[in-house]
Amino acid sequence: MDLGIAGRTAICAGASRGMGKASALALAREGVNIVLSARGEERLRAAAGEIAAATGVTVTPVVADHSTVEGRAALQAACPAPDMLVITCSPPGVTNDFRDIAVADWQASLDTSFLAPVELMRLFIDGMVDRGFGRIVNIATVAAKFPSVPRLLSGPSRSALHNYAVAVSKVVAKDNVIVNTLLPGMFLTENLIATLEAQAKAKGVPYDEERDKYVGRFRVPAAKFGAPEDVGALAAMLCSRYASYVVGQSLVIDGGLINGLF
């Protein structure tokens, strides 16, 4: 299906690997020019080259930490009038005991996974309204909806983010600016692959065996981890011309792991 967005421009913030990169690639395959950002320059340039070579669109890498005012300004300078924003970051660290979380930990979590997307939206949304087209997708976490102690530095800030996104989505939907949130569950990204490889090596078992055991332990109904491409395709769909009536929604992508009706 042609998503009807060829020739448009997307800022993919936090996109040199994982789900952000997969979203950039999915959009680039639709003919969308990409402004790609991350903090680490080497991996960012490699990802930009890879996406450009695979799709033929223009991919502009911008080294920027979007948890900072300067990083967001760098993105705005590189691309003052994007049609789309796809925003994510790395998963914040896991907490074993809620008592261990210090104020500085909360501040870092809020800066990166709440204030960064809020401020990016605020920077670009009026231009989208004026131009009569905008698509914003925040890639957050299923922990926003299903709390657990290990994900305390990830879930609460994304619950707040989605609260903000829904409120804003209702103001700008009439101008064809559409804001939605994706909530991924367990995904086989580079971090997890490295962890599983190390565990497999330490136990002297094959990687596939360790991976499958891990999935089995969590009883994921789809019997596998998600792939970043699964999220990328949905992000592109929510950026499509046809998503104009999907307003302020959150979509869990977790292989059926969470047991809930709505």
Ligand X SMILES: NC(=O)c1ccc[n+]([C@@H]2O[C@H](COP(=O)([O-])OP(=O)(O)OC[C@H]3O[C@@H](n4cnc5c(N)ncnc54)[C@H](OP(=O)(O)O)[C@@H]3O)[C@@H](O)[C@H]2O)c1
By CB under 6 A, name the binding residues for ligand X: 14-20, 37-40, 43, 65-67, 88-91, 112, 139-141, 154, 184-187, 189-192, 228
Cα 258-261-262 angle, rounded to 5 deg: 95
Cα 200-212-227 angle, rounded to 5 deg: 105
Nearer to ligand X, 13 or 178 (CB): 13
Nearer to ligand X, 124 or 187 (CB): 187
CB under 8 Å to 51, separation ≥6 — which residues?
21, 24, 25, 28, 34, 36, 57, 59
Nearer to ligand X, 3 or 48 (CB): 48
Cβ of residue 68: shortest distance to ligand X, in angstroms?
8
Nearer to ligand X, 133 or 207 (CB): 207
Cβ of residue 204: shortest distance to ligand X, in angstroms?
25
Cβ of residue 174: shortest distance to ligand X, in angstroms?
29
Nearer to ligand X, 116 or 200 (CB): 116
Cβ of residue 70: shortest distance to ligand X, in angstroms?
11
User: Cα–Cα distance between 227 and 19 in angstroms, integer?
Assistant: 8
The residue whose two tokens read 């994982």 is 18
User: Cα–Cα distance between 180 and 165 in angstroms, integer?
Assistant: 7
Cβ of residue 151: shortest distance to ligand X, in angstroms?
8
Cβ of residue 146: shortest distance to ligand X, in angstroms?
11
Distances in whole angstroms, Cα of residue 72 to Cα of each of 37, 78, 189: 10, 10, 25
Tell me what percent of the chain is helix, strand and coil, each rounded to the nearest 5. 50, 15, 35
Nearer to ligand X, 63 or 246 (CB): 63
Phi, psi (degrees; rounded to nearest 5) at 11:
-90, 120
Give yes or no for a contact between 218 and 106, defined as CB atoms under 8 angstroms apart: no
